[in-house]
Amino acid sequence: MIAPSILSADFARLGEEIRAVAGEGDARADWVHVDVMDAHFVPNLTLGLPVVESLIKSTDVPIDCHLMIDDPDRWAVGYAEAGAYNVTVHVEAARDPIKIAKDLRAAGAKAGLSVKPNTPLSDYLDVLKHYDTLLVMSVEPGFGGQSFIVDVLEKVRTARRLVDTGHLKLVVEIDGGINASTIEQAAEAGVDCFVAGSAVYGAGDPGKAVAALRAQAAAAAAR
């Protein structure tokens, strides 16, 4: 699965940028990844619920909301109620991640849990039983264009083993520095869904970039 990140898109043309990856076949994004940043949990500030509501209305591609915000216990459910397909919160910011997961599911969304590069996955394996998605950050959250941190792939491998053995039931997603040079090693480690920003929106044809990344990941995973 490929989830283009609009953090790398032209914010003045977000509707058009999403349509560019909403074509057919392998050029169609599986999800559109939307980063919500509040300038508190991370130093950057992007967009909030009103913009996300507009994006949801503008496309039939499922919206994957990544909330890099303080107090997701209070705010996350609003994105689910707005119609986001998947809503991901950071375990480092959540007071009661299990309750958040239940609330998101009750509001009609998939529940995602994200971990920063230095956050150990082992501390949250029981919590993950309540979630539909694990988002492994392969850069420090807050800004696009960072270099891929290879060491996080050990967390991906751990999650993949737990999914394959039936201990967890979730999509393993990765976010940060995913491009033609890094997607194959992430796929070999066991990633299901790849968030790609500049690798898609920095290309001349975003749809073709989605298809090319998908082909690379599929070939690597099949080895």
Residues designated catalytic: 35, 175
Beta pairing, strands 110-115 & 2-4: unpaired
CB contact at 8 A, 13 and 54: no
Q: What is the dihedral of CA 2, 53, 80, 94, to 10 degrees?
A: 80
- The pTM for the full model equals 0.96
What local confidence, expressed as pLDDT, does residue 147 receive?
Answer: 87
- The tens place of each residue's pLDDT in the chain, 223 residues long, gives 999 999 999 999 999 999 999 999 999 999 999 999 999 999 989 999 999 999 999 999 999 999 999 999 999 999 999 999 999 999 999 999 999 999 999 999 999 999 999 999 999 999 999 999 999 999 998 876 778 999 999 999 999 999 999 999 999 999 999 999 999 999 999 999 999 999 999 999 999 999 999 999 999 999 8
What is the reported pLDDT for 10?
Answer: 94
Residues whose CB falls within 8 Å of the CB of residue 90, separated by 6 or more in sequence, listed in order: 41, 67, 68, 72, 113, 114, 115, 116, 141
